[in-house]
Every structure is written in structure tokens, then in C-alpha cells.
């Protein structure tokens, strides 16, 4: 490491040198983490440098080992350091990748395969045609000005009529992940806790790591988040709950209105969570076979609901709507004005046309039917072969396998690619590990994007079942 001209490489960091040359004015976990983070950010601690041991630094600073351990955990969650077991903790080397760690784990290799079921994207053949929409809107497309309203009135009216609850304010953003990211940035400070689903969507975990927040995993059943698990998580006083009400990615679980009411009651009865906000990612929206559901009916002042149109109308439109408490939405909109400002009104006009024109509405309805049929057909075929998969909503299926690595290799040999399950897992054995219909305390999983499976279901089911090694029924 390099500090004030002193270089120490390929050896344990000298704790006396570290504490002598670097001031630690705040010896709380956050204060210690902040000092180390600044050294990494300025390059005084470089990728690959070894840090002092927890006990060494704790003794030098006069704090408990638990205090330093918490600082190290925060730095690891933020992606700045990594543990290498008995070898110690090291500054994480910088990666040239444009993807965050768990997103890298989801990314498919570039090598071609016969059938790619790994990407979690909609079937392009089931998206409504953009050409006619572009022709129809070209006559009324306007570039507008900086002063125009951020959401065009016609789209605002359609969104308000279709929203699953009374939202004080609705805005348009550049996709669901943009909405989630901007909402979390308004709520989360370094060290805060956020409740997440386990298993859940990997980019959410990457976002929390980048914000320096701690993910609190809660298990799922066939109706989503389990109320008892949420009640336990709320005892840790999180600032937000991040959930997917329909077609949960990766499990395909959808909440019922009764489950939404149960979760709302749990939140209302919890202590010391007065500022808690629930963020709902309805990413599959109009292609979901389940009806609208939200905690916003019971908790209108606490819920930010996000609806994406990527899977129903096209990922490259990059458009989603966000609705919730007026003050919070206004803060998100104000911050956005210092960046992109607004989502292209031309793109909004295209979406409005797709949401109101008859043939586009019919195309989305047909896509919803096709996805349902593909899910049910493959699910039935796998269950007939002894693979315990649950009936699911949306385009993904969460399949138990005896060994993730073995399953990926076997399927690759058959020309089929699926997504590894490990990036979706938020919990360790010490947390609220999953049990019940959507997860188990033991065993591995893979995610299969059923939505792009147009034909050859029986052949694919044979390959998947062989890779899963026929786990016993009930081991979801």
C-alpha cells in the first residue's frame, strides 16, 4: 500500500503505520469504514493491498473487534474490500466491467448456444409492433421545451386510471431499475437496512451494496413475502422494504390481495418503523396473469409502486411509471432534473399510442396468453418428470437442482443455457434462509426463462430434468 510515501506491498499492512499516518477521528464502524474508503478512493490503498487484521486494528484503536468487523462488513458490501478467508482482507481490485458484481454473475457468456433460456427477457416476437405506432405518432411528435410538463397529459391520465391504488403523484422514468435506484437514493443512508426478498433480483443487492446499505433477507412462499419473516425483519428497523408483487423474479410468485393486506398489517403494527417505505417493482405488469396487487391500498402514504413496460412493450423503450406519496415523488423528480430531467416525451407519446391502440392492446393480451401457456406446459412436463417446480407467473421459472455447477455444465453440453441461481440469493445460513414452497435451506437452483421457449418443450424438459437429477417432490 502507499501512504505518505511509504509503500507496503504483498505483505500484511503494518497497523502501527496505518494508525500513525492516518487519523481516525470517529472510531464507530461507520467512521472506520469511512477512513478506509477514502484511502481506497484516493489510491493510497490500492487493489490487492492487504488490510490489518480485525484484532490488530481493534487493539490499536482501542475498540472492540466487533466494531472493526462491522466496518469491514460495510466496506465489503460496498464492494471496496474482500475477504480471502485465513489469508485476510484485501482491497478489491478495480474491475473494468460495466456490470456490478451480481449482474456479472447473471450475464450470459458470448459463446453461442442452441437455446438461451438465461436472460430473463421477453420474446421479441410477442412484443407489439413499433412501426405502426411510430407512423401514427410522427404527425404529432414534438420536441417540446425545458418548461413542458415532465409527463404528457394523455399518458398521465391513462396511468392514473390503471394504477392499482390512489397515488398522490405519478411520474415517468427510464425503466424500473431507474425508478428503484432513484427511490433508494432518497431513502437510504450508509449503514441503513433494507428488507429484500430471498431469493430476489440481483441488481437490487448490487444497488444496496453501492449505497452502503445492509440487505435484510426474508423468505418467500407461493404468495411472496412471508408475513412472519417480515415481522422479524422489521425488528431490525429497516428504512425500506423492497418487493415484487407479481411474477417475482426469479421464483414467479405473485401476491394475493389477502397477502398484501397481511403484510400491511404487519407493517402497521411494527414499532420504530415510522419512516419505513415499501417499494414495489411490478416489472412484468401487463403480461402478468395475476391481477393488480399492492400494499398501497392499505398503506397509501408508505408505498412507492413501480410499473415497467419493458416486458410488455419492449425493453429498448426504457420506460416505467412510478407512483406514491407526493412529497417523496417530488424529491425524486427534483433530483432527476439535475440529470436527464425527464423521459423523452416522444417516447412517452409512443407508449401512450401502444397503451390505447387496439392492435397493440391485442398483441399484449396474446403475449400474456402465450407466456401463461409456455409456463404451464413446461412446468407440467417437469413435474411429470419428478422435478418439483411451482406453477408460476411471468416469464421465469425457479428450478431446484442437486448442483448448480453440474446443472449448468450438463445443460451447456446439451446446447441449453440457463441462469445460475447463486446471484439471486441474498441470505447466508445465519440469516432468514428460505424454507417452504419457494426455497429450501439446502440445495441449489437455476432460473429458466420460459417465456422464450416457443417449441421443443418435451425435449427441453428432458434436458432440464436430467440436469436437476430428479429431486424429490416438495423440495422447492
pLDDT of residue 95: 60
CATH placement of domain 101-125+361-468:
3.90.1150.10
In the three-class reduction of DSSP (H, G, I as helix; E, B as strand; rest coil), residue 438 is classed as: coil
Instruction: Report d(CA 77, CA 75) in Å as an integer.
Output: 5
The confidence score (pLDDT) of residue 430 equals 33
Cite the beta strand spans of 31-177 per DSSP E: 81-83, 89-91, 115-117, 169-173
Residue 84's pLDDT is what? 77
Q: Is 397 helix (H, G, I), strand (E, B) or coil?
A: strand
Residue with cell 413435474: 383
**Fold held by 129-358:** 3.40.640
Instruction: Report pLDDT digits (tens) over 54-77.
Output: 888 998 899 999 999 888 887 876
What's the rounded Cα separation, in Å, for the pair 246 and 306?
Answer: 12
The domain segmentation of the chain, as residue ranges, is 2-91, 101-125+361-468, 129-358
Neighbours of 264 (CB within 10 A): 20
- pLDDT at site 166: 92
Q: Which three cell numbers stand for residue 203?
A: 441488481
* Topology of the domain comprising 2-91: Arc Repressor Mutant, subunit A (1.10.10)
Predicted confidence at residue 434, as pLDDT, reads 43
What would the grid cell of residue 240 be? Answer: 425500506
* Nearest CA-CA partner of 423 in 455, 390, 445: 445
Instruction: Decide: 250 and 418 in contact? Cβ < 8 Å.
Output: no
Question: Which parts of the chain have pLDDT scores under 50?
Answer: 1-12, 428-431, 433-442, 470-476
Q: What residues pair up with 396 in beta bridges, in sequence order?
A: 449
**What integer pLDDT is reported at residue 71 of this predicted model?**
87
Asked whether the domain spanning 129-358 has the same topology as the one spanning 101-125+361-468, the reply is: no
- What pLDDT was estimated at residue 463? 95
Q: Given this model, what pLDDT does residue 233 score?
A: 97
Q: What is the pLDDT of residue 23?
A: 79
Q: How many residues does the chain have?
A: 476
Class of residue 150 by CB neighbours under 10 A (exposed 0-12, middle 13-18, buried 19+):
middle
Q: Are strands 89-91 and 320-324 parallel, antiparallel or unpaired?
A: unpaired
Amino acid at each position: 500500500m502507499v501512504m505518505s510515501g511509504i509503500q507496503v506491498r504483498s505483505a500484511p499492512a503494518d497497523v502501527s503505520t496505518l494508525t500513525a499516518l492516518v487519523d481516525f477521528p470517529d472510531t464507530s464502524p461507520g467512521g472506520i469504514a469511512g477512513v478506509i474508503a477514502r484511502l481506497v478512493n484516493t489510491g493510497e490503498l490500492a487493489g490487492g493491498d492487504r488490510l490489518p487484521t480485525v484484532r490488530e486494528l481493534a487493539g490499536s484503536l482501542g475498540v472492540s473487534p466487533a466494531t472493526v468487523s462491522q466496518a469491514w462488513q460495510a466496506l465489503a458490501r460496498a464492494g471496496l474490500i474482500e475477504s480471502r478467508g485465513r489469508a485476510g482482507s484485501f482491497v478489491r481490485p478495480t474491475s473494468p466491467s460495466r456490470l456490478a458484481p451480481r449482474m456479472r454473475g447473471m450475464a450470459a457468456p458470448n459463446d453461442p448456444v442452441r437455446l438461451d433460456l438465461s436472460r430473463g427477457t421477453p420474446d421479441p416476437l410477442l412484443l407489439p409492433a413499433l412501426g405502426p405506432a411510430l407512423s401514427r405518432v410522427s404527425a404529432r411528435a414534438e420536441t417540446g421545451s425545458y418548461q413542458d410538463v415532465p409527463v404528457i397529459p394523455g399518458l398521465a391520465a391513462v396511468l392514473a386510471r390503471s394504477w392499482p391504488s390512489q397515488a398522490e403523484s405519478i411520474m415517468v422514468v427510464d425503466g424500473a431499475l431507474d425508478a428503484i435506484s432513484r427511490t433508494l437514493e432518497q431513502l437510504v443512508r450508509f449503514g441503513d437496512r433494507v428488507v429484500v426478498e430471498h431469493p430476489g433480483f440481483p441488481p437490487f443487492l448490487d444497488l444496496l451494496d453501492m449505497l452502503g446499505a445492509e440487505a435484510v433477507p426474508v423468505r418467500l412462499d407461493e404468495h411472496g413475502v412471508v408475513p412472519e419473516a417480515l415481522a422479524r425483519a422489521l425488528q431490525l428497523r429497516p428504512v425500506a422494504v423492497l418487493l415484487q408483487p407479481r411474477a417475482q423474479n426469479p421464483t414467479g410468485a405473485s401476491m394475493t390481495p389477502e397477502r398484501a393486506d397481511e403484510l400491511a398489517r404487519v407493517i402497521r403494527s411494527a414499532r420504530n418503523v415510522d419512516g419505513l417505505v415499501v417499494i414495489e417493482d411490478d416489472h412484468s405488469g401487463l403480461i402478468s396473469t395475476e391481477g393488480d396487487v399492492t400494499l398501497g391500498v392499505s398503506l397509501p402514504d408508505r408505498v412507492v409502486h413501480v410499473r415497467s413496460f419493458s416486458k410488455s412493450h419492449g425493453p429498448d423503450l426504457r420506460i416505467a411509471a412510478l407512483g406514491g406519496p407526493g412529497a417523496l415523488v417530488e424529491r425524486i423528480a427534483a433530483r432527476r432534473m439535475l440529470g436527464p430531467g425527464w423521459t423523452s416525451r416522444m417516447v412517452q407519446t409512443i407508449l401512450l399510442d401502444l397503451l390505447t391502440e387496439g392492435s397493440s392492446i391485442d398483441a399484449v393480451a396474446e403475449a400474456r396468453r402465450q407466456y401463461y401457456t409456455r409456463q404451464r406446459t413446461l412446468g407440467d412436463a417437469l413435474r411429470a418428470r419428478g422435478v418439483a417446480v411451482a406453477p408460476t407467473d411471468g416469464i421465469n421459472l425457479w428450478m431446484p437442482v442437486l448442483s448448480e455447477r453440474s446443472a449448468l455444465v450438463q445443460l451447456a453440453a446439451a446446447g441449453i443455457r440457463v441462469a445460475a441461481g447463486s446471484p439471486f440469493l441474498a441470505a447466508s445460513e445465519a440469516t432468514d434462509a428460505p424454507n417452504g414452497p419457494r426455497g429450501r435451506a439446502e440445495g441449489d437452483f437455476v432460473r429458466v426463462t420460459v417465456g422464450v421457449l416457443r417449441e421443443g418443450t418435451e425435449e427441453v424438459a428432458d434436458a432440464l430434468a436430467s440436469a436437476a437429477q430428479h429431486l424429490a417432490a416438495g423440495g422447492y
